[in-house]
Chain A
Amino acid sequence: MRSNTVGWLMLAPTIAILGIFGIIPFIYVLYVAFHQWNPFGASPDMIYNGANNFRRLVFDAEFLTSIAFTMKFAFFAVLSEIALGYLLAQLFMKEFPGRGFFRTIHTLPLIVAPIVVGSVWRLMTTPSIGIIPYLLRNWFGYDLNIGRDATTAFTLTVIMDIWHWTPLVTLTLLAALLALPKEPFEQAQIDGANRRQIFWHVTLPMIRPAILATVFIRLMDALRTVDEVWMLTSGGPGAATRYVGLHIWKIVFPKTDYGYGAAISVIVLYLTLVMCWLLYVALVARRERKRTF
């Protein structure tokens, strides 16, 4: 009989590292969140002010809109990535010449640094010098201006995110599709099920865990996107693409309002956690149910 001590020993380094670099900073941020602290302001000392920071953020219109924008961004980006990623994964399931080559090409956006992604998209889309506005004007007579139109800027951040992260979704879903057993499909075909029925009743239930896990990782990352959007739009025009990560950054850095920034991040972390927890419960519940059958 192997003892659990070995198991704990194997888990120990992970717990230690994440404890030091995860829990200690978190406790510190939580502590700061209950203080008024602007080390570069008029009163540089940390002053305990109870839940004032949290009270303040309920009435902070900028914060609330940034949360709303972030949710909207995460929703559209992740939903499109899952749909598109699934379609592309299905396309990769077929045999055709050059499949491996195209798969490598499709994976490329994944390896580009977020800060580079943002810069390139900015250069491509800036009015007057960008290639995309130029082509759109010449070919379709459409005037693209991300500096002026809020909806355009928002859409563009979503498209950029889709470009950058769909490959990851395609890879995870492709892995899931490849791991599926063949028999249920053959059986369904024998039973005369059409493609749509096979998708809803055979494929989808079986790859559901993989879809949920992918949504989980993507949602979490979409909610804290900063670098790319910052490089592309700097949060503008106005505050149309000032996602919550950017909002926090603005409060912590240019304004050095650490206490308030800490309070916001605690709340954002909490919201992300709740959303992910719900997804995780859905994920685990499914797995448990399978086991009891």
Chain B
Amino acid sequence: MQGRNPLLYVALWLFLSLLTLFPIYWLFVISVKPAVDLFTTPSLFLDAIYWKNYVNVLGNETLRGYMLNSMIISSGNAVLVTVLAFMACYALSRFDLAGKENIFFWTITNRMAPAAVFLLPFFLLFTQIITFGDWKLYDTKIGMILLYCTFNLPFAIWTLRPTIDGIPKELDEAATVDGASTWQVLHEVIFPLARPGLAVTLILTWVFAWNEFLLAATLTSFNARTITTGLSEYVTTTGTEWGAMAAIAVITLIPALVIFAVVQRHIVAGLTFGAVKE
């Protein structure tokens, strides 16, 4: 509000940022400590940095493979989901399809399923049902890309629809009258206007896919193993290698962090979840 010192907000946010950053800072602290030091009296600040965990992790070829897999799966899924959600939202927004509101609601029910029990049918689907000769979906990147649609596609449709609904119908009607094909309308009218919404959808689905654990742990073994699953391999029956685990966790944060920082501005513009448009 006017008249109030903006420095007050800066101070408040500095404090809030400390709370937000602390667990992430602590993750970093764990990652740069030798294992023996973890179980001594904790101290808030580091007196020495020990990079060995990072050297080990980055030098590990298997882990690098997992990271590449994660990169391919989450990027593939984010692109596929965003494209499909864009088309679906356009259809839901502009066409008078019978039962479309029910379809809209049905999509989100796919996100509500408790993952634990669906693991078994997914496992059977991946190993027994969708097979072509020797080819199976199990442990393939394409399988994971498709599977992640079950929770990401509904989310994307729900975040993107208000954006598409918010684009005035008159614009594409005018373009259609001028002889534009549906493809041209999508490409030249809707797409540029929906860009912030599409960017948010892309990023959030990318992050969700990148972070997924339970399904990847069950449905992949090596060829499509993702980094979150690789990370959990450091939790063993003989104890947890916290240092290595934390180092991997810190490394996995970096790509998401870079993307988030770059597109920060657009995120809010694109998240107009059901905002009132008069």
Instruction: Determine whether the beta carbon of B10 is less than 8 Å from that of A283.
Output: no
Instruction: Determine whether the beta carbon of A111 is less than 8 Å from that of B97.
Output: no
From 116 to 169 in chain A, residues with beta carbon under 8 angstroms from any chain B beta carbon are 116-117, 119-121, 123-124, 129-131, 134-135, 163, 167
A: interface residue count bin? 35 or more
From 4 to 49 in chain B, residues with beta carbon under 8 angstroms from any chain A beta carbon are 4, 6-7, 9-10, 12-13, 16-17, 19-21, 23-24, 26-27, 30, 38-39, 41-42, 44
Cα distance A287–B167 in the bound complex, in angstroms:
17
Instruction: Determine whether the beta carbon of A21 is less than 8 Å from that of B147.
Output: yes
Instruction: Determine whether the beta carbon of B153 is less than 8 Å from that of A14.
Output: yes
From 14 to 32 in chain A, residues with beta carbon under 8 angstroms from any chain B beta carbon are 14-15, 17-18, 20-22, 24-26, 28-29, 32
Which residues of chain A are near B269, meaning CB under 8 Å?
A: 175, 178
Instruction: Determine whether the beta carbon of A17 is less than 8 Å from that of B153.
Output: yes
Mark each residue of chain A from 1 to 25: 1 if its CB lies under 8 Å from any CB of chain B, else 0: 0101011101101110110111011
Instruction: Determine whether the beta carbon of A163 is less than 8 Å from that of B117.
Output: no
Which residues of chain A are near B272, meaning CB under 8 Å?
A: 175-176, 179, 210
Q: Decide if A51 is an interface residue (CB 8 Å cutoff).
A: no
Instruction: Determine whether the beta carbon of B270 is less than 8 Å from that of A175.
Output: yes
Mark each residue of chain B from 133 to 167: 1 if its CB lies under 8 Å from any CB of chain A, else 0: 00000000000001101100111011000000000
A42-50, A56-64, A74-82, A90-98 - the one binding chain B: A90-98
Q: Decide if A226 is an interface residue (CB 8 Å cutoff).
A: yes
Expressed in whole angstroms, the minimum distance between the Cβ of A241 and any Cβ of chain B is 16
CB nearest to B109 among chain A residues: A273
Which residues of chain B are near A26, meaning CB under 8 Å?
A: 113, 118, 121
CB nearest to A174 among chain B residues: B268
Instruction: Determine whether the beta carbon of A245 is less than 8 Å from that of B120.
Output: no
CB nearest to B22 among chain A residues: A124
Instruction: Determine whether the beta carbon of B17 is less than 8 Å from that of A107.
Output: no
Instruction: Determine whether the beta carbon of B26 is less than 8 Å from that of A134.
Output: no
Given the interface contacts A14-B153, A108-B20, A213-B274, does A124 sit within 8 Å of B26 by beta carbon?
Answer: yes
Point out the residue from B112, B119, B264 that lies within 8 Å of A224, measured CB to CB.
Answer: B112
Instruction: Determine whether the beta carbon of A25 is less than 8 Å from that of B20.
Output: no
Expressed in whole angstroms, the minimum distance between the Cβ of B141 and any Cβ of chain A is 15
7 A/B residue pairs, CB under 8 Å, sorted by A: A11-B88, A21-B150, A94-B6, A96-B7, A111-B257, A123-B38, A163-B23
